[in-house]
Chain A
Amino acid sequence: MEVETRRDLYNLMELKMKKSYEKLKEEKKLEYEENLLKTYVIETSLESVHSMPKVGNFEIDIEKTKDKTLYIMKVYEGKRPHSVFYLDASDERFWILHTLSKSEKTDRFMNKIIFSISNNLDFLWFDSRFLEDISKNEIFRGFSLKFEEKIRETGDIHVKTLSMKLWGDAASRILETLRKDDILRYSTALSGIGIKRIFNGGEDFVIEDVTFNGKFTARGTTVDGHLYMIRKFLKKYKEKLSSIEDRSIEYESSDFGYRIKGCPLIIKFSKSVEDIERLLDSLLSSTRPFRLWGLKKEINKGFYKILGVDLHTGDKLTMEASPEWLRIYLPRNSCGNTVLRLLTNIQQHFDSGAELVIEDETI
């Protein structure tokens, strides 16, 4: 089926969604080359889809459609066709990429393109609180936990890696139990959730698996349901970003004097950090997943000043750190997504109980 308009695309997506759901239901597996519908939502500050950078061995070919904001993005690895994405750029800041290509291929490509330095692209970063809150209004199917200690290499490391998939009614109770455990409670970051929503009085439904970095995998009977779920997540995410960016530090000057607006954002650790210097070295190492470059200076015992740069955008990020918290000063016009990337990855790799606090309110 050729895609020339948005309607063509949605017809194709719905057909695949239904087909793969039926196959999974009846045979519990998909045929070779029969792939689930996946949607990646990414944040961008690129001027247009044509500025998409070349990364590694991948070549990108962007084709226009009859719809001005819908593109077909064909990816080649070397000369060989690799994957196809349908890129919806109707929102200038958040691009939506639908694909029916194989997950292992599309994940690899997305990771490659997002984690290239200074490419002005980023994933969305759903922290654990965000995922838990949003799942409360849906039919909850389960969640997955993934924790990988990336900061400490020596000393008492109780949990080096933890990977768990809990599906079913008791999933929340198991999570609660884990979080009551003195050792496991710091390693229970959500890496994904499974939710279901029923539409049209029970006629239609959609089942979504959503990962912490903004990937939606859909099954069900209605593509409109899938698009509704994406819009819902994106709306909540934009609200969270606004709360962050509204507090960015801004200077206003006049002939009379100048004013400062905004305040620092706080990432509060749920446990006191034993080796804050090591944590900061990991954050500022320029490598995945934090992707920050920076210099640190101990101002007082256990209190550091950090002058960092976000390698995705080149934006500055100035911080202060103590064993209990990180204070983040986001300059005006810098991207709030950096703060959510930092929070989510601290949860995934260091302290799953870390929280973002703005003026005494946890968000």
Chain B
Amino acid sequence: MIEVKNLGFSILKKQILQQIELKIPKNSFTVIMGANGAGKSTLLQLLAGSLLPTAGNIFMDGVDMQTMNARQLAQKRAVLSQQYYLPFALTVREVVMMGRYPFFNNHPKAIDEDIVNKAMQLMDVQDLGNTIYQHLSGGEAQKVQMCRVLAQILDANEQNEKYLLLDEPVSQLDIKYQYQLMQIAKQLTRQSVTVIAILHDINMALPFADTLHFIKAGCLFTSLYPPFQITDSLTKSVFGIGSMHLPIPNANYPFIYFQP
């Protein structure tokens, strides 16, 4: 479980986030949404530990994150970011193996090779092992990065719970793989992984989320739980655009149609 207590972040006198209080229960799928510039990326960076809060604390499994060093953090959580640029040629397998770096010193052990294989099978890139990363298409490269991130957390179990943070992970993927990735993430929540994702598309979030947090102007505007009541006034406040919610047969979440 992650507990966020009175979290604030400011830089150069600009207050980006203030007084954020939330609890992320274990094995849940939490989605954070908000307009551009609302502070969601900053919140994710703080949850990932790459930024330090200027106010408040974040507790990961009861431990203040600021007391953990980079390697300890890396063994507990993995982050998938939006864009990657690799300046030198590496094979796909070498890139995925980087996900196991927090767990071995110089030579990968057998378990590391196993997890790399597992990750590549999960994302269906097992045949690309020896392909050079720079020769991949944008979507394939994003999948390989997901493999690398998965390799960090696939050995999660009840004694060793892990966190997966996704920062708008579906931008480069086609529609089938977008859903595939979300399904893989959802499946991981049944395997001792807690998922926290930033998503732009609310209709992508609704089938998978256990909790929706809306960030507006640096504050936690509201949090929603199933069944999600996404009203016109909510989307107007958070996104600045009105909407209609339409029922989907056989689903316990609506389809949100935006109308300016």
Partners in one complex: no
